[in-house]
Amino acid sequence: MKVAELRKLPKRQIVDLLLRMAVQNKRLKASVQRLHHLPAHPTVLRHVSRDDDTVPAGWVERHGISIPRADGIFESPGAWVQVKHGTIVRAGLKNESILMHMISLELLDQGAEHHGSLYKDWRAAFLSRLDPSKSGEPGGDNPEAWSKEDRYSKLLHRLDKDMTEAMDGIVASRPKARHLAAFQGNQGVFVEAFMTVANAMRDINREAEEASRRAQPA
């Protein structure tokens, strides 16, 4: 608008127009400042593959993991890597169980996988026998019964509920995000829970073998 035309407007309309122009200029200035401070290319921290990495070249990028050159465990929605001194030393997928994660981190040995599978087998047998209306009951503890479901029932009687619930999370094939987060901050607690359950299972199996020997005719 020309100055001559502006002078012909009522004073109130001139003030409103100037205010709108000031607001627009302020927004424009803010937008320019934001653009000025943006880098030419977004900064993405990536791990440059090295010969001593435990994963093939490109694995990190394929799984959407961005990591700095530092120690730690870095994750994407579906995978994780552990970096030490700039080298990937461990890696895995999040749809693997926490148990497999623990084994890959060498917190447990390969024998732990057997006890994890056995636990799931016992639990599945126990749950399949339960009356749905009584699913909250711990089951019986008949010392003379040694079926899979009976062994799991004995386990429930011998261990705190926290231990069996922790074991449920450890062996789950698709662990929940909260369990994964808890594991990251309390790995020692998870190892202790697994070993406690595994030791109780060994005791029950040993007792079953002894009961079987006693039942055999002399």
Averaged pLDDT for residues 175-203 = 90
What is the three-class DSSP state of 83?
A: strand
pLDDT at 35: 45
**Residue 41 banded pLDDT, cuts 50, 70, 90:** very low
Averaged pLDDT for residues 79-83 = 84
Place of tokens 């002399």: 218
**Residue 204 banded pLDDT, cuts 50, 70, 90:** very high
Q: What is the pLDDT of residues 9-35, one digit of tens each?
A: 676 666 666 667 665 666 555 554 554
DSSP code per residue over 92-103: EETTS-HHHHHH
pLDDT at 51: 72
Q: In this structure, are residues 98 and 175 in contact, taking their beta carbons and an 8 Å threshold?
A: yes
Is the Cα dihedral 139, 140, 141, 147 positive or negative? negative
pLDDT at 42: 41
Strand ranges, E, within the chain? 72-75, 79-84, 87-93
pLDDT at 116: 96
